[in-house]
Chains A and B, each alone.
Chain A
Amino acid sequence: MVKPIATLRSATGVPTGRLAVWWVIASEIVIFGGLLGAYLLHRLGHPEWATYASHTNTWAGAFNTLVLLSSSLSAVLAHNAAEKGNGARAANLLLVTCVGALTFLVVKGFEWTHEIQEGFTITANGFWSFYYCAAGLHGLHVIAGAIIMLFVAADARKNQELQRVELIGIYWHFVDLVWIFLFPLLYIAK
Chain B
Amino acid sequence: MSSHTESHGAHSPNEAPHATHEDAHYIKIWAILVALLVVSVTGPMLEIRVVTLLTAFGIAVVKAFLVAKHFMHLDTEKKFVVQLLVVCLGLVFLFFMATSPDIMKHFGMNWVNESAKNANIPEKIVHHGGVEGAAEHAEGAAEHAEGAAAPAEGAPAHPAGEAH
Q: Chain A interface (Cβ within 8 Å of chain B)?
A: 3, 7-15, 19, 22-23, 25-27, 29-30, 33-34, 37-38, 40-42, 44-48, 50-52, 54-55, 58, 62, 65-66, 69-70, 72-73, 75-77, 80, 82-83, 85, 87, 118-120, 124-128, 155, 159-163, 166, 169-170, 173-174, 176-177, 180-181, 183-184, 188-190
Pull 7 A–B residue pairs with CB atoms less than 8 Å apart, ordered by A: A8-B10, A29-B88, A30-B91, A47-B133, A55-B162, A58-B41, A188-B52
Shortest CB distance A77–B (Å): 6
Say whether chain B's binding surface is mostly helix, strand, loop, or mixed.
helix
Shortest CB distance B147–A (Å): 12
A10 with B12, Cβ < 8 A, contacts A29-B85, A180-B60, A184-B57 known: yes
> Is B80 among interface residues, defined by CB-CB distance under 8 A?
yes
Which listed residue (B84, B88, B95, B158) contacts A51, Cβ 8 A? B158
B120 touching A127, Cβ below 8 Å: no
A15 touching B15, Cβ below 8 Å: yes
A72 touching B67, Cβ below 8 Å: yes
Shortest CB distance B83–A (Å): 10
Q: Within 8 Å CB of B91, what residues of A?
A: 30
Which listed residue (A3, A76, A124, A163) contacts B154, Cβ 8 A? A124
> Is B75 among interface residues, defined by CB-CB distance under 8 A?
no
B78 touching A12, Cβ below 8 Å: yes
* Complex Cα–Cα for A177 and B67 (A): 7
B52 touching A189, Cβ below 8 Å: yes
Counting contact residues on chain B (CB < 8 A from A), the size range is 35 or more
Shortest CB distance A181–B (Å): 6
Shortest CB distance B20–A (Å): 6
User: Chain B 120-139, CB within 8 Å of chain A: the 1/0 string?
Assistant: 10011001000011100000
A82 with B4, Cβ < 8 A, contacts A26-B84, A45-B116, A66-B34 known: yes
B12 touching A26, Cβ below 8 Å: no
A54 touching B72, Cβ below 8 Å: no
Say whether chain A's binding surface is mostly helix, strand, loop, or mixed.
helix
Q: Within 8 Å CB of A169, what residues of B?
A: 71
Residue of A nearest to B27 (CB): A73
Chain A to chain B: the 4 pairs with minimum beta-carbon distance, closest first: A125-B154, A48-B123, A162-B4, A33-B92
Q: Within 8 Å CB of B162, what residues of A?
A: 51, 54-55
Q: Given contacts A12-B80, A29-B88, A47-B134, list 15 more A-B pairs with CB under 8 A.
A: A15-B11, A72-B30, A80-B22, A83-B18, A85-B5, A124-B154, A125-B153, A162-B3, A176-B67, A183-B40, A183-B60, A184-B56, A188-B41, A188-B44, A190-B44
